[in-house]
Amino acid sequence: MTNLTLEQTASNTAPVYPFPLPALRFAYDALEPFIDAETMQVHHQLHHQTYINNLNAAIKDYPQLHQMSIEDILRQLDQVPESIRATVRNQGGGHANHQFFWKILKPGPATTPEGVLGEAIAQAFESFDNFKTQFHAAGLKLFGSGWVFLVVDPKDGSKLKIHTTANQDSVLLEGLPGLLCCDVWEHAYYLKYHNRRADYLEAFWHVVDWDVVARRLEGFRAGKRQL
């Protein structure tokens, strides 16, 4: 059985097996009226918890994974035993993506990125409004279920880019540090917005915590692993 390399930088600061459901920084109704309380509760307690339950069950008999953060497991997915690799990709990706998503949300009203982050977005997309337009379009264009991310591309001069993934694939699988993400699975918005994904994407901008996004960019530039 392959022994995985333990990434101490992340594992010392991130939850390891059995992975717990992370607590939210706000009440389920705190994002009203942009994201409703029922959606938040179902999304967090049922959908995210199910990904965690399935992930924990999949890696139960593989102790070499038990001291690794989910982020490091996904970064080294090719070393995960083949018999559980697809499950870890799907269920572990669901856990990592949702864990990331909760971190970048906050109660409204809408704010805008400033400072280094604001400058980086303007440099990459010409303006914040252009960035929002392109992010929105990427979310609408994504067929079926998936995610829209703002990432740093280390292979292209650390440029900021918009990137989409299908299902629960994580940008960690592609070596792209994530700064911002938006869940465009129907379970993220259907109870309030029904099939109006465009309305949900517009509401999303009212609940983004740009301070967290800025700290993620700062951490990347300082060479830190992002959790």
DSSP string, 187-199: GGTHHHHTT-HHH
Instruction: Give the separation between CA 91 and CA 88, rounded to whole angstroms.
Output: 5
* Cβ density class 18-32: b for 16+ within 10 Å, e for less: ebebeeeeeebebbe
**pLDDT attached to residue 9:** 35
**pLDDT attached to residue 53:** 98
Instruction: Give the separation between CA 180 and CA 183, rounded to whole angstroms.
Output: 10
Q: Which domains are assigned to the chain? A: 115-221 (3.55.40.20)
Closest listed residue to residue 115, CA positions, set 218, 4, 8:
218
Closest listed residue to residue 95, CA positions, set 41, 212, 175, 15:
15
As a dihedral over the C-alpha atoms of residue 140, residue 74, residue 72, residue 162, rounded to 10 degrees, the angle is -20
**pLDDT attached to residue 7:** 39
pTM metric for this prediction: 0.93
Which residue positions in the chain have pLDDT lower than 50? Answer: 1-12
* E strand or H helix at 183: strand 178-183
The number of angstroms, rounded, from the C-alpha of 223 to the middle of its chain's C-alpha atoms is: 19
pLDDT in tens, 7-60: 333 444 689 999 999 999 999 999 999 999 999 999 999 999 999 999 999 999
